[in-house]
Amino acid sequence: MLASIISPEIRERSLEIVRENGMGSIKKTFCRICEPACPLQANVNQAGEIVALKPDPEHPLGGIPCNKGLFFLEVHNDPDRLNWPLKRKNDKLAEAAEFERIDWDVAISEVAEKIQALQNEFGNDAVAVYAGNPLAFDSRAVHVISQLAATLGTSMFFSAGTQDCTNKFVTSTSMYGGMVTFIPDLAHTDYLLCIGANPKVSHWTFISVPNDGGKILKNIKARGGKVTFVNPRKIESSSAATGETLQIKPDTDVFFLAALSNEIYQLGGFDKDKLQEYGKNVEAYLSFIEQWTTDKVAGVTGIPAAQIRQVATDMVAANSAACYLSTGVNQGRQGTLSCWLSEMLNFATGNLGRKGGTFKSTKLGEPQPMPSVLHEWESPYGNIPLGAAMMPGVLLPDLVERGKIRAVICLGGNPLLTMSGGEDQLMAAFARLDLLVCTDVIPSLTTEYADYVLSAADWLEREDITGFPLYTGTQLIPSVQYADAVVPPKHDRRSDWWILSRLLQALNIPSQLDEEDHRDGFKFLDGMLATRGLSIEKIKSQPYQTAFMEQAPKDSLFQTCVLHEDGKIDCYPECFVKYGLFDRVDRIWSELEQELDDVLKLISMRTPHMHNSWMANAPGMRGGNLAENRLRMCPADASRRGLLDGDWIKVSNENGELECRLEVRDDLRPGAVAMTHGYGHRQASKLGIASTRPGVNCNRLMPVGVDTYEPLSHMSWMCGVPVAVERVQQGP
Ligand SMILES: Nc1nc2c(c(=O)[nH]1)N[C@H]1C(S)=C(S)[C@@H](COP(=O)(O)OP(=O)(O)OC[C@H]3O[C@@H](n4cnc5c(=O)[nH]c(N)nc54)[C@H](O)[C@@H]3O)O[C@H]1N2
Ligand SMILES: Nc1nc2c(c(=O)[nH]1)N[C@H]1C(S)=C(S)[C@@H](COP(=O)(O)OP(=O)(O)OC[C@H]3O[C@@H](n4cnc5c(=O)[nH]c(N)nc54)[C@H](O)[C@@H]3O)O[C@H]1N2
Ligand code: SF4
Ligand SMILES: [Mo]
């Protein structure tokens, strides 16, 4: 425990979780929109309504939460929110969905009956589950989801993971023999290579740094270290105070990483003793990187050879270094091999398990062995390996079309805007389903196609602990905070774990609810908390209801996190060979080498004003320019096509087309165009703001179907997809 970091003067006050004042009360809580789980305070008035969300500056992890966290109040108070369970009354092809209010017992029993009937008639796989991102931040719901999928006996488990990070899962299970995440030691590193991430806007993923207003990167430079970003766009994170961006061509990172590794190897920067002691298949790894020389890859990656060599020299010279890679690469075609090369770089240079390198942060429970592939599902397209990665999201539309999937249970997700595909594929498939059940806090484009919409309580209305970073072990400072519901759920909203537990009961499966419907949602956590000497009661008794945990020595990860039976890190996993990842790398290389130099490739771009698709109806996030998403292009590409800033343009490819406005900005490299996802709620008839300021769904340009996703990881291809751009009308 690190409770001593709290000064005695504020210790007394820190135990007050609710402070009354004449106007109402101030309650401590934490944000559950993304991974950092930033501490917050909520002002509640005398009528019991939340009137403000603010930072909690006294919290030891306090500081600057982002505007998404503070603006969540607009989602909480949204007049369009879902207040009670709804059942569809009209046809799915009607212009706007019509629903009637029903009560929970009816909703749950009807949904359970329909699921059972469909499974009886068409088999267990007829019912699919899609788990969206928000439920990962509900410490109780996340466990019930896996219970639901397992007990339905369906292989059709889809999640936002194949749009996000499953390449990381299969890399860790293949290399280390279990789902383990090593994070860069940002507080001590001398060199950070940050690839395909924009932490100033995203606030990191797979590393949890609460209330980071950008200081952690600036501190690296301030203490004499260096940060280099690799990104097609000169991003907000990159500045004179942090470090420069090497503007790579989209979807070529695997070649950059292979050549960089080769260069460092040639410079003698590998720790051969470490590789020998803890690695296996090292020779095969070395033969792979030896094929990729700096001079060979410079043209295809767009990074001049001298700059690649500079990174190699800097990494070798640094006392410690860490390579970190994120969604911009995950969503390319070769996220798994890129992730493997990044992990290998950290290991081979001796930075894995070293101060300032990468390490395993304390988590709840011990890392468990897990293979990359648990079984293969016999599909119409051949066998699909399932285990560390769930079903490929891009196959969902076709499986519905073929009648294999008849129902989707969509838990806190908005796949119609966040998965690849547009009207012709995804929306057409969802309209055909016999049963679509959604849980959400507000209506969305996806709920527009639902048969049942179940009204979930939001995170201000539910008690919780900071579960996600604790289950994954991704916190720089390992801690666990408890928060009570700031206000009780209004109307007939219920927590997701309660909804799912009731559904399990109705399916005759034991759930976490007891006979009287008493809450018991944290019970399953007792054992996990006990591994760290904690319990819910103990966390509650700590200042700020936050318990701090100790870190294990950094190099202990070789004993605790390498879970293959022989205790070795697999430097050239057989399953990468088996599922064709190495054949693919050669194929894609030949393709890129022959590519014409005026190809435009679409990449993703997060902004501080959207969180995937969920800030779409928040007025404060949709004013002025934020009402629409535009396509960004650099001046050279625009003038080559005779396009001007503000033009109304058509963006198209073989997958689909869309129209939007052009924004000419010099932050992108030639050949890369960028667009924000999460827009496109025009047909979401229940959203007053989002349907009138819809913007467009850029995912209709992403490929769907067999052969479009990365084998093994099943990642959708969402970054670096070729598009053509032409003017429709001169603007503005
Ligand atoms: N083109 C492109 N597409 C992308 C990405 C990209 O970079 N580019 N990023 C991808 C990534 S990284 C991700 S993680 C996915 C996300 O994909 P999804 O998880 O499908 O999408 P979200 O927009 O996060 O949808 C979350 C839904 O959950 C609802 N919600 C919020 N809180 C709660 C709650 O407490 N309970 C319930 N039941 N519902 C709640 C929101 O209102 C929203 O409708 O999108 C992916 N799609
Ligand atoms: N404001 C905001 N914050 C968010 C979210 C949000 O939607 N909005 N979503 C949350 C979620 S679900 C996640 S998973 C995290 C993601 O967090 P990050 O992984 O940091 O995601 P991004 O900010 O999208 O950064 C991805 C970067 O990759 C770059 N890129 C695109 N293509 C390529 C490529 O081919 N190669 C390289 N090297 N770079 C490329 C893009 O320009 C972009 O800057 O953010 C979370 N935080
Ligand atoms: S960074 Fe994430 S957790 Fe922190 S306030 Fe913003 S949205 Fe919430
Ligand atoms: Mo994500």
Q: Which long-range contacts (CB under 8 A, 24 or more apart) does 531-539 make?
A: 531/364, 531/365, 531/366, 532/362, 532/364, 534/480, 536/465, 536/482, 539/465, 539/480, 539/481, 539/482
- Give the closest ligand to the alpha carbon of residue 61: 3
Residue 276 CB neighbours (<10 A): 10
Rounded to the nearest angstrom, the distance between the alpha carbon of 65 and the centre of ligand 3 is 6
Among protein residues, the one with the nearest Cα to ligand 2's atom 33 is 328
Among protein residues, the one with the nearest Cα to ligand 2's atom 21 is 197
- Give the closest ligand to the alpha carbon of residue 202: 2
Q: What is the pLDDT of residue 214?
A: 84
Tell me which of 606, 612, 629 to substitute to probe ligand 2's pocket, judged by most ligand atoms within 8 Å of the beta carbon.
606
Q: Which residues line ligand 1 (CB under 6 A)?
A: 132-134, 160, 163-164, 327, 412-415, 418, 439-442, 444, 456, 458-459, 496, 604, 612-614, 677-678, 698-699, 718
Among candidate residues 286, 302, 403, the one with its CA nearest the CA of residue 347: 286
Beta strands 99-101 and 127-131 are unpaired
* 3 state DSSP class of 4: helix
* 3 state DSSP class of 375: strand
Cα 520-154-378 angle, rounded to 5 deg: 155
Tell me which of 148, 206, 606, 612 to substitute to probe ligand 1's pocket, judged by most ligand atoms within 8 Å of the beta carbon.
612
Please give the number of the atom of ligand 2 that sits closest to the Cα of 678: 7
Q: What is the pLDDT of residue 13?
A: 66
What b/e readout covers 402-418, taking b as 16+ CB neighbours within 10 angstroms?
eebbbbbbbbbbbbbbb
* 3 state DSSP class of 231: coil
Please give the number of the atom of ligand 1 that sits closest to the Cα of 419: 47
At residue 663, φ and ψ (nearest 5 deg) are -120, 115
Among protein residues, the one with the nearest Cα to ligand 3's atom 8 is 69
Q: How many alpha carbons lie under 13 Å from residue 393 in its C-beta half-sphere? A: 30
Is residue 31 in contact with ligand 3, taking CB distance under 6 Å?
Answer: yes
- Give the closest ligand to the alpha carbon of residue 194: 2
What whole-number distance in Å separates Cα of residue 652 and Cα of residue 650? 6
Among protein residues, the one with the nearest Cα to ligand 3's atom 6 is 66
pLDDT digits (tens, 9 = 90+) for 434-490: 999 999 999 999 999 999 999 999 999 999 999 887 888 999 999 999 999 999 999
- Helix intervals (H) in 377-432: 396-401, 415-418, 428-432
Rounded to the nearest angstrom, the distance between the alpha carbon of 35 and the centre of ligand 3 is 7
Among protein residues, the one with the nearest Cα to ligand 1's atom 15 is 160
Rounded to the nearest angstrom, the distance between the alpha carbon of 222 and the centre of ligand 3 is 25
Q: What is the pLDDT of residue 212?
A: 80
Rounded to the nearest angstrom, the distance between the alpha carbon of 198 and the centre of ligand 2 is 6
Residues in the chain, pLDDT under 70? 1-15, 510-520
Q: What is the pLDDT of residue 468?
A: 83
Q: Which residues contact 591 (CB under 8 A, 6 or more apart)?
A: none
What whole-number distance in Å separates Cα of residue 586 and Cα of residue 258? 13
Rounded to the nearest angstrom, the distance between the alpha carbon of 542 and the centre of ligand 3 is 23
Q: What is the 3-state secondary structure (H, E, C) of 505-527?
A: HHCCCCCCCCCCCCCCCCCCHHH
* 3 state DSSP class of 705: coil
Among candidate residues 78, 77, 323, the one with its CA nearest the CA of residue 206: 323
Is residue 68 in contact with ligand 3, taking CB distance under 6 Å?
Answer: yes
* 3 state DSSP class of 439: strand
- Give the closest ligand to the alpha carbon of residue 718: 1
Judged by phi (left if over 0) then psi (alpha if -120 to 50, else beta), residue 204 lies in left
Please give the number of the atom of ligand 1 that sits closest to the Cα of 414: 20
- Give the closest ligand to the alpha carbon of residue 629: 1
Is residue 610 in contact with ligand 3, taking CB distance under 6 Å?
Answer: no
- Give the closest ligand to the alpha carbon of residue 459: 1
Q: Which residues contact 552 (CB under 8 A, 6 or more apart)?
A: 360, 362, 560
Query: Hey, what are 276's tokens?
Result: 């020998």
Query: Hey, what are 248's tokens?
Result: 């790579």
Query: Hey, what are 185's tokens?
Result: 């030691």
Sign, Cα dihedral of 91, 93, 96, 102: positive
Q: Which residues line ligand 2 (CB under 6 A)?
A: 34, 68, 133, 164, 195-199, 201-203, 205, 230-233, 235, 248, 250-251, 253, 326-329, 332, 603-606, 608, 610-612, 719-720
Return the residue matching tokens 């504020």.
10
pLDDT digits (tens, 9 = 90+) for 581-604: 999 999 999 999 999 889 999 999
Rounded to the nearest angstrom, the distance between the alpha carbon of 209 and the centre of ligand 3 is 10
Q: What is the pLDDT of residue 9?
A: 59
Single-letter amino acid code for the residue at 113? E
Packed helices 305-317 and 253-266: angle between N→C axes, nearest 10 degrees: 50
